[in-house]
Amino acid sequence: MARNAGRHFLQIPGPTNVPERVLRAIDFPTMDHRGPEFATLGKAVLAGMKRVFKSTHGEVVIYPASGTGAWEAALVNTLSPGDRVLMAETGHFASLWQKMAARLGLEVQFLPGDWRHGADPQAIEKELRADAAKRIKAVCVVHNETSTGVVSRIPEVRKAIDAAKHPALFMVDTISSLASIDYRHDEWGVDVTVAGSQKGLMLPPGLSFNCVSQKALGAGKSASLPRSYWAWDEMLANGRSGYFPYTPATNLLYGLREALTMLLDEEGLDAVFARHQRHAEATRRAVRAWGLEVLAADPREYSGSLTAVLLPSGHDADKVRKTILEAFDMSLGTGLGKLAGKVFRIGHLGDFNDLSLMGTLAGVEMGLALAGVPVKKEGVQAAMAYLAESHAQPRRAAA
């Protein structure tokens, strides 16, 4: 096999590129997960994750699992067989969460969507007001839909639940938004937040998270869905002293500690969010300059983590991705579910800077041309002009 010089550009919306510092931290010798040194590590990462979730009142649980595991944990710890859950169809991953709920024996009320908009707060409020018997036990929403690049407006959904005066739990998937897009577990009244390690947290896959409100913990006392590995009670009891009830992913926790230092103590979350928004806006300007369309239809719901690009009718997005991979050794996200072949997704999250973005957009622009998609060769220039201007503004303000 021929060798490709230089680094592979991994521009899918997760797993993301892992910083060298995090890789080196993961490479530390494995420690005794029952020893005193591990307790220090365990307490540090649990406290750090509470800061990432922006929660002072919630409890954090860390599982050795993908984000799908955290989905299941959210459901089985709070609900009972036959309970009704209200879910919003915002894309492929919202649909997968809905299928999981059905397989677990829950009754799913699925609000249809067009995959170009986030969850509709008004539609959720209407369904909750109509539920006079209060059969709906949870409202489940994906914050940033990874398949579409659309962000649901979580504070507005919370207001809709409150306006309906409904007691349902509020569960939110932040797998591709946590540590990339502003998120506030306590302030937004979320009961269970779901997250994974391989996106904004800049780690390989293998860790998943729940942040749990006191209300959700109370619901768990009467919930009767089967749970053992996913049970919160033993995880939380052991976590108070920094330990796990079973063998944790020790070396990934080393990496998490290093990533939290980078995100929280060195760059700062507000700066992280601003960086992601700059790169997202630059990418959208490139897409429009090419003459193509951003899949997200509402500017209020644009994603800071990724941009899904809709191709003109008659052009195959997978052919574009294949062309770019073969010509430039760059991976872009595929279209999932009913978007297969219609969109490709540019990930711009995690350990990512301006030069990485410009290289990505240059590869996309050249790949589109090679694949025969009729585009204007102005996307890179439009993105570069925006990035240059956004760099100049704070310097002018400081002067």
The one-character DSSP state at 115 is: S
Question: What's the mean pLDDT in 18-43?
Answer: 97
Q: Are 83 and 211 in contact (CB under 8 A)?
A: no
pLDDT at 396: 55
pLDDT one-digit tens code per residue, 219-273: 999 999 999 999 999 999 999 999 999 999 999 999 999 999 999 999 999 999 9
Average pLDDT, the chain: 96
Q: For residue 302, what pLDDT band results from cuts at 50, 70 and 90?
A: very high
Entry pTM: 0.96
Instruction: List beta partners, residue 306.
Output: 347
Question: What's the mean pLDDT in 306-316?
Answer: 97
Strands (DSSP E) along the chain, which ranges?
9-11, 59-64, 84-88, 107-111, 136-142, 144-145, 150-151, 169-173, 192-196, 207-212, 293-294, 306-310, 330-332, 343-347
CA 59 to chain centre: 20
Q: Which residues contact 325 (CB under 8 A, 6 or more apart)?
A: 331, 332
Q: Are 199 and 205 in contact (CB under 8 A)?
A: no
Q: For residue 391, what pLDDT band results from cuts at 50, 70 and 90?
A: confident
Structure tokens at 63: 């599982």
pLDDT over 60 (residue 397): no
Structure tokens at 133: 């018997």
pLDDT at 1: 61
pLDDT over 70 (residue 23): yes
Q: Exposed, middle or buried, 397 (CB in 10 Å: 0-12/13-18/19+)?
A: exposed
pLDDT one-digit tens code per residue, 111-155: 999 999 999 999 999 999 999 999 999 999 999 999 999 999 999
User: Higher confidence at residue 309 or residue 392?
Assistant: 309
pLDDT over 70 (residue 289): yes
3 state DSSP class of 169 = strand
Place of tokens 């079973």: 246
The one-character DSSP state at 337 is: G
pLDDT one-digit tens code per residue, 173-228: 999 999 999 999 999 999 999 999 999 999 999 999 999 999 999 999 999 999 99
pLDDT at 4: 84
Strands (DSSP E) along 169-232, which ranges?
169-173, 192-196, 207-212
pLDDT over 70 (residue 298): yes
Q: Between the CA atoms of 369, 370, 374 and 377, what dihedral angle is there, to the nearest 10 degrees?
A: 10
pLDDT at 212: 98
pLDDT at 161: 98
pLDDT at 395: 55
Exposure letters 245-267 (e unless 16+ CB within 10 A, then b): eeebbbbbbbbbbbbbbbbbeee
- For every residue of 247-302, DSSP letters joined together read ---HHHHHHHHHHHIIIIIII-HHHHHHHHHHHHHHHHHHHHHHT-EES---GGGB
Question: What's the mean pLDDT in 299-314?
Answer: 98
pLDDT at 394: 61
pLDDT one-digit tens code per residue, 363-388: 999 999 999 999 999 999 999 999 99
What is the rounded CA–CA span in Å between residue 249 and residue 251? 6
Exposure letters 24-48 (e unless 16+ CB within 10 A, then b): ebbeeeeeebeeeebeebbebbbeb
Q: How far is CA 98 from CA 79, 95, 103, 109, in A?
A: 14, 5, 9, 9
Q: For residue 2, what pLDDT band results from cuts at 50, 70 and 90?
A: confident
Q: For residue 321, what pLDDT band results from cuts at 50, 70 and 90?
A: very high
pLDDT over 60 (residue 95): yes
